[in-house]
Amino acid sequence: MAVAARENRGWPGWRIFLLILAATVCARTSGMAFNRIVDRKFDAANPRTAARHLPAGTISLSSALVLCVLSGFGLLTASYFINPVCFYLSPIALFIVFFYSLTKRFTDFTHIYLGVALALAPLGAWLAVNGSLAFSPFLLALAVVSWLVGFDIIYAIQDYEFDRRHGLHSLVVRWGVKNALKFAFLCHIAMWTLLALFGLISRFRVAYSVGLFIILGSLILEHWLAHKRNLKWINTAFFRLNALISLIFFIVTVTEVAFPAFKLIR
């Protein structure tokens, strides 16, 4: 959104900003609700997820269905008020977000499907601001796919034995933990390279370069922790380090767009 609106120093106006925010929240809420609904039996059988709302009985199935439907409708409504292109594509986006939750039942490449679902976010934000796409958001979308595949493989290590016993698919089940972690590292190297290309095409300089250095260090630390195969360290690698990566990327990108005078090299 910020890069697409760089002519106005990264700010598309309150109307578009709030609509993008509403669409994002609704899409994620609807997708997560659908995931919990269709996976409720697996979640109940898995000790790691048995305490989630549906298997624990904290909320009812009907409540989850209502939340899923209303959130999906919220995405369609927000997209309608953004522009016609976003509105026409929003049902496809919603289908992709929902479809991911079913992939673990028939394909080992479920991580890639989830990556594609998340990669719709930068494409959608660019469309919301400009009404058309360019090369830059596709680079960012590919970076999101690579990033997601890498850290979702790390996350899937926790359920390796459970997934094997219950016939659920993942690259961890297919290749084993050691080989899957090697592939995850390659995905994160690809992600970092794509982010570097994104910055180069966007003509970013000092702040972005510093951010890339921090992100690379975070990725290396994430994989070092993941190799310990300890639940505590996996959660640290998955949640905290990826939160740091996304926050750093956000800060340096907005800095480059909003404060072009900050660049020391013209």
Q: Distance between CA atoms of 3 and 260, rounded to whole angstroms? A: 12
Domain that holds residue 86: 1-107
Q: What pLDDT score does 229 carry?
A: 64
Element (H, E) at 151: helix 135-156
Q: Is residue 162 part of a domain?
A: no
Give the span between the Cα atoms of 156 and 158, in whole angstroms.
5
CB 153 within 8 A of CB 172: yes
Running DSSP on this structure, what letter comes out for residue 52?
A: S
Domain membership of residue 112 (yes or no) is no
Please report, for the domain that includes residue 18, its CATH number. 1.10.357.140
Tell me the CA end-to-end span of the chain in Å, nearest whole number: 24
Question: Nearest-5° angle of CA 145, CA 147, CA 148?
Answer: 65
Q: What is the pTM of this model?
A: 0.92
Per-residue pLDDT of the chain (266 residues; tens, 9 = 90+): 999 999 898 999 999 999 999 999 999 999 999 999 999 999 999 998 999 999 999 999 999 999 999 999 999 999 999 999 999 999 999 999 999 999 999 999 999 999 999 999 999 999 999 999 999 999 999 999 999 999 999 989 989 999 999 999 999 999 999 999 999 999 999 999 999 999 999 999 999 999 999 999 999 998 988 887 666 677 777 788 899 999 999 999 999 999 876 554 44
Asked, for residue 16, whether it belongs to a domain, the answer is yes
Decide if 132 is inside a domain: no
| Within-domain flag for 32 | yes
pLDDT digits (tens, 9 = 90+) for 190-247: 999 999 999 999 999 999 999 999 999 999 998 988 887 666 677 777 788 899 999 9
3-state helix vs strand vs coil in the chain, percent to 5: 80, 0, 20
State the total domains in the chain: 1
Evaluate whether residue 83 is within a structural domain.
Answer: yes
Question: Cα separation of 157 and 140, whole Å?
Answer: 26
Are residues 114 and 84 in contact, defined by beta-carbon separation less than 8 angstroms?
Answer: no
- Residue 64 confidence (pLDDT): 97
Assigned domain for 251 exists: no
In a domain, 33, yes or no: yes
